[in-house]
């Protein structure tokens, strides 16, 4: 979180990754730390014991794709 805020303050695009359980806490912390428009990617917490390797891999690929999209938008702005 703090690394992303430091990057944003320097004009460097960054994305904070947070499990859905901690989304509200992460958003609040960003506000408290002075992040004006934080880029936060909230995703469902992994459950490796309950998911197949294929499901885990698909989720990871989805998160990676979303990160690239968010960073691309931030870079274009």
- For residue 16, the surrounding DSSP H or E stretch is strand 16-19
- CA angle 23-27-33, nearest 5°? 145
Tens digits of per-residue pLDDT, 13-49?
A: 999 999 999 999 999 999 999 887 889 999 988 787 8
Provide mean pLDDT across the span 59-75.
Answer: 92
Give the residue extent of every domain in the chain: 2-76
- The residue whose two tokens read 């509200």 is 24
pTM: 0.82
């Amino acid at each position: 979180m703090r690394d992303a805020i430091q990057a944003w303050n320097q004009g460097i695009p960054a994305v904070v990754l947070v499990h859905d359980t901690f989304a509200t806490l992460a958003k609040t912390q960003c506000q408290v730390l002075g992040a004006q428009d934080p880029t936060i990617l909230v995703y469902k917490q992994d459950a490796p014991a309950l998911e197949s390797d294929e499901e885990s891999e698909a989720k990871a690929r989805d998160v990676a794709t979303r990160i690239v999209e968010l960073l691309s938008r931030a870079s274009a702005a």
